Amino acid sequence: MAFKSIKTILVLVFSTILLSSSYNVIAQGSEIKSAEESAKEKKDGFNAKEVIFGHIMDAHEFHFLEFEGRDGQKHTVSIPLPVILYSPQKGLSFFMSSAFEHRHKEVNGYKLNEDDKVVSTEDGVKVYDFSLTRNVVQMILALILLVWLMISVAKSYATGQGVTSAPKGKQNLVEVLVSFIRDEVARPNLGHKANQYLPYLLTVFFFILINNLIALIPGTANVPGNIAFTIVLGLISFVVIMFSSNTHYWGHIFNPPGVPGFVKPILILVEFLSVFIKPFALIIRLFANMVAGHIIIICLISLIFIFAQINPAIGWGASLVSIAFTIFIYFIELLVAFLQAFIFTVLTAVFVGQAFEGEHPKDEHLPDDAVIV
């Protein structure tokens, strides 16, 4: 009898364990299913990463916005750009980027990958992309704007406006900036050679400034936030610095005066590396600052849609804070646009001035207002 009671208790306990295990398996299955559904919904919903990198990376179109039409389909408002491809196997191809239909269609054996790069759909086919991407088109527009601005201002001065009378309109802004770069950047750092390098410094300043300001217009490309753009500017500055150097400059690098012999090998290495670190600093400074500001603005805007996916009411509440901070950062970016153009220009002037600096004889009398570079 006792044995039967024990047997009954064991069966009851075992059955309870089985039921509990079954419930846990069902619950875990529903949790896995729920997680998969959530991941799918998240994938189909707002993708902040795609928006952020879609703005700071290059593309084959100017993308403005997307909306859902009455037919339930998503429609995109964008400006397509020319796609120019060359392949040794297939020859030259030319078509508009709209033919890809936003990565949904292949054209002549080519397609756009997830990084918005044109690749071949056939194995062994090499592709050379010469397309006019939005960064290239925007730089051309900035160059046209710069040339038009300077030529129109020069024509105004040729007619006597700003010479015999007060400057007007855009002359006021350009004259202030030119005078500032001449008096506060070129002359203090380049001395008697200021006028020789002033055209280059003004070109660099205005070209960076115009690209910085255009990049703040919604829908445009962040050209200064492209590392290729800053690398080219840094390499040009490096070439100017090298052609401006003299024997005294290299003598200070490979034979530092007034330094103990055992320290010279280390100092020579440091000084030689500084020749390449200077343009590298120009490249990274401009690139990092212009990318960071745009990412902050897009992240603040993205918070609205991220919170809206959780709850629409939370999204509306977050929008007030996000928009307020976005406007604040946007005005900060306007200041940064001028500041980064100025910093790149003044550092270039400093490095060029260091490259052609010469020895000052100890017995030479320098006037009080002399500029020592």
Q: How far apart are CA 267 and CA 253, in angstroms?
A: 8
Taking only the tens of pLDDT, the chain with its 373 residues reads 444 444 444 334 334 433 344 334 334 444 433 444 444 444 456 676 777 777 778 888 887 777 777 776 777 778 888 888 888 888 888 888 888 877 778 888 888 887 778 888 887 788 888 888 889 999 999 999 999 999 998 888 888 877 777 777 788 888 899 999 999 999 999 988 899 999 999 999 999 999 999 988 888 888 888 899 999 999 999 999 999 888 888 888 888 887 788 888 888 898 889 899 999 999 999 999 988 888 888 888 888 888 888 888 888 888 888 889 889 998 999 999 999 999 999 999 999 998 887 644 444 444 444 444 3
Q: How far apart are CA 29 and CA 35, in angstroms?
A: 10
Which segments of the chain does DSSP mark as H helices, in order?
2-44, 48-56, 134-158, 170-181, 187-190, 194-214, 227-244, 247-254, 264-310, 312-355
Return the domain boundaries, the chain: 51-129, 134-355
Q: How far apart are CA 16 and CA 12, in angstroms?
A: 6
Token pair recorded at residue 216: 């703040």
| SS3 category, 21 | helix
Q: Which of 121, 127, 58, 118 is nearest to 92 (CA)?
A: 127
The residue type of 41 is: E
Q: Which of 206, 200, 194, 197 is nearest to 147 (CA)?
A: 206
The answer to whether the beta carbons of residues 308 and 315 sit under 8 Å apart is yes
The residues pairing with 77 across neighbouring beta strands, listed in sequence order, are 65
Element (H, E) at 84: strand 82-87
Question: Strands 82-87 and 91-96, how do they pair?
Answer: antiparallel
